Structure 1
Amino acid sequence: MVQKKKFCPRLLDYLVIVGARHPSSDSVAQTPELLRRYPLEDHAEFPLPPDVVFFCQPEGCLSVRQRRMSLRDDT
């Protein structure tokens, strides 16, 4: 008898949004947090790893200030 291989029933296991929950104006780097995830429940055969936030943002959430342009920058 030929044994069939199991195929992956999902294209993606999870969709996660990782970032800073409360962005700080005085801190450059913050600890990343899991802001949203889909599905909300773990898959039985593959639970969402708790350290996925550090896989997504290993250096933390880095804040970049927006640079304001002045008239001098145009010339």
Structure 2
Amino acid sequence: MRNRIRELRTARGWTQAALADLLDVSRQTVNALETGRYDPSLPLAFRLARLLGEPLEAIFDPDEQDAAAPTR
């Protein structure tokens, strides 16, 4: 899933470590989120949205592969 976490974090002048401290996760988790290697849990996604002052839809965007997946 694509996201704007890095863009929003750097616009606020925060390092990955600073964002990790605010979210109570490791810096490696922030890095994995930013690079798309890890999709956050729903509670973590809501914490990110609240902290960044953005709606979830403004932070996370499913990529074409996710959008093309059939629904059940």
Please indicate the TM-score interval, normalised by the length of the shorter structure. Answer: under 0.3
Q: Tell me the TM-score normalized by structure 2.
A: 0.27
Q: Tell me the TM-score normalized by structure 1.
A: 0.26
Query: Which one has the bigger strand percentage?
Result: 1
Query: Which one has the bigger helix percentage?
Result: 2
